[in-house]
């Protein structure tokens, strides 16, 4: 029986934002294969001093998979550490398939995605009743092609809380597509390296999204949060959830 490979979500960069299970696996691992371009080294401070630490920024997927398979065959406890949550833009699909073909079981430990830390930092609910009830996680087409049916302009038509990953290099095009449906004064939080030492969050009107991104030179590790909910930050007169309304009874509070 081959040793499982643990695909662990590291969270956005703050070492306190990994799950307990992910932390424990990282602390026990014989081998940690990690995406060093997106995960700060501080995340590895819990690793054993004799653990084999393998950065992957300069490796191909085939090389990474080969390492995972070889170390698993050697009965090592292998952690494949991905930034944020592995299910989002983590290219884990290809790794899972290759590991399954090699008869190696996989366990995935979820992580906090960048959009969740963005909402926490901004102290905002992305699903304010009557205002917005849908969150879209997407990216613009780049080297990775986005299916036509998910074109950014068509998603913008929903005017939902939209979390835009992997798009800073194409921000002019992204802004133009968003402006087809969102009002130009819709707030956009430009979130650079959330959870890292040099984290920066700038909230601007949609019409300035590209200009500010460029003037701040934000090309990598930037998430955009476009949402009508950002207008309501600290507005105490804004819509209240029916869940806490005294006239709204439910299973756990039937008789108010
Ligand atoms: C390859 S994707 C991985 C996303 C990751 N799996 C997640 O759940 O957050 C990398 C992109 O995610 C976003 N991202 C990841 N970590 C971030 C962070 N700490 N701050 C801001 N954006 C981040 C950026 O859009 C970046 O270009």
Is residue 206 domain-resident? yes
Residues 207 and 123 occupy one common structural domain: yes
pLDDT at 143: 82
Residue 245 included in any domain:
no
Residues in the chain: 256
Is residue 138 in some structural domain? yes
CATH number at 43 reads 3.40.1010.10
Q: Does the residue 247 lie in any domain?
A: no
Tell whether 146 and 206 lie within a shared domain.
Answer: yes
Q: How many domains does the chain have?
A: 2
- Does 244 fall in a domain? no
3-state secondary structure 106-161: EEEECCCCHHHHHHHHHCCCCCCCCCCCCEEEEECCCCCCCCHHHCHHHHHCCCCE
User: Does the beta carbon of 195 lie inside 6 Å of ligand 1?
Assistant: yes
**Ligand 1 neighbour 14 (Cβ under 6 A):** no
Q: Are residues 177 and 217 in the same domain?
A: yes
Question: Both 153 and 198 in a single domain?
Answer: yes
45 and 144 in a common domain: no
- For residue 113 and ligand 1, the question of a CB distance below 6 A is answered with yes
CB distance 132 to 227 below 8 Å:
yes
How far is Cα 69 from Cα 233, in angstroms, rounded to an integer?
A: 48
CA of 40 to the centre of ligand 1 (A): 12
The number of the ligand 1 atom at minimal distance from the alpha carbon of 165 is 25
Whether 222 lines ligand 1, by a CB cut-off of 6 Å, is yes
Residue at which a domain ends, from 52, 78, 109: 109
Helical packing angle, 92-101 and 61-73, nearest 10°: 40
Write the CATH number for 186.
Answer: 3.30.950.10
The answer to whether position 86 is within a domain reads yes
Domain boundary among 55, 74, 109: 109
CB-based contact 187:204 (threshold 8 Å): yes
Kindly state whether residue 250 falls inside one of the protein's structural domains: no
In 142-167, which positions are buried (b, 16+ CB within 10 angstroms) versus exposed (e)? eeeeeeeeeebeebbeebbbbbbbbb
Strand arrangement, sheet containing 31-34: 52-55, 31-34, 78-82, 5-9, 106-109
Report which secondary-structure segment, H or E, holds 165: strand 161-165
30 and 14 belong to one structural domain: yes
- The pLDDT assigned to 236 comes to 47
Bridge partners (DSSP) listed for residue 139: 165
Check pocket membership of 6 for ligand 1, CB cut-off 6 A: no
Residue 65 parent element (H or E): helix 61-73
Out of 85, 109, 133, a domain closes at 109
The atom of ligand 1 lying closest to the CA of 35 is: 1
Q: Give yes or no: residues 11 and 57 share one domain.
A: yes
Please identify which residue in the block is written with the tokens 């780049």: 142
* pLDDT values of the chain reduced to their tens digit, one per residue, 256 residues: 788 999 999 999 999 999 999 999 999 999 999 989 999 999 999 999 999 999 999 999 999 999 999 999 999 999 999 999 999 999 999 999 999 999 999 999 999 999 999 999 999 999 999 999 999 999 998 888 999 999 999 999 999 999 999 999 999 999 999 999 999 999 999 999 999 999 999 999 999 999 999 999 998 899 999 999 999 665 544 445 555 555 555 555 655 4
Phi, psi angle pair for 199, to nearest 5°? -50, 140
pLDDT, residue 1, reads 76
Could you tell me the CA-to-CA distances from 63 to 79, 142, 201 in Å, in that order? 16, 24, 35
- Are both 85 and 128 inside the same structural domain? no
Statement to judge: residues 62 and 149 lie in one domain:
no
Query: Where in the sequence is the domain holding 80, given as residue range(s)?
Result: 5-109
The preferred substitution site among 83, 119, 122, 222 for testing ligand 1, maximizing ligand atoms within 8 Å of CB, is: 83
Q: Is residue 226 part of a domain?
A: yes
Please indicate, yes or no, whether residues 18 and 124 belong to a single structural domain of this protein. Answer: no
Q: What would the DSSP string read from start to end of 190-236?
A: EEESTTSTT-EEEEEEGGGHHHHHHHTT--SSEEEEE-GGGGGTT-T
Residues 80 and 134 placed together within one structural domain of the fold: no
Residues 125, 224, single domain; the answer is yes
β-pairing, 222-226 with 161-165? antiparallel
């Amino acid at each position: 029986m081959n040793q499982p490979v643990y695909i662990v979500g590291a969270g956005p960069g703050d070492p306190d934002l990994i799950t307990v299970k992910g932390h424990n696996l990282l602390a026990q691992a014989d081998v940690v294969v990690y995406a060093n371009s997106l995960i700060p080294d501080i995340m590895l401070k819990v690793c054993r001093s004799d653990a084999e630490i393998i950065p992957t920024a300069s490796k191909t997927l085939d090389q990474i998979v080969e390492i995972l398979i070889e170390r698993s065959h050697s009965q090592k406890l292998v952690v494949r550490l991905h930034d944020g949550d592995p299910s989002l833009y983590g290219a884990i699909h290809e790794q899972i398939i290759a590991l399954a073909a090699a008869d190696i079981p996989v366990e995935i430990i979820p992580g906090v995605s960048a959009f969740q830390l963005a909402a926490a930092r901004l102290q905002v609910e992305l699903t304010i009743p009557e205002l917005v009830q849908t969150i879209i996680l997407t990216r613009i087409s780049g080297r990775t092609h986005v299916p036509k049916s998910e074109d950014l302009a068509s998603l913008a038509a929903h005017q939902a809380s939209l979390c835009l990953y992997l798009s800073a290099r194409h921000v002019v095009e992204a802004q133009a597509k968003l402006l087809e449906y969102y009002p130009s004064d819709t707030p956009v939080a430009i979130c650079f390296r959330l959870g890292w030492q040099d984290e920066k969050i700038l909230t601007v009107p949609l019409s300035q999204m590209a200009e500010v991104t460029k003037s701040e030179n934000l090309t990598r590790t930037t998430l955009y949060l476009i949402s009508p909910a950002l207008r309501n930050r600290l507005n105490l007169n804004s819509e209240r959830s029916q869940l806490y309304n005294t006239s709204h009874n439910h299973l756990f509070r039937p008789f108010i």
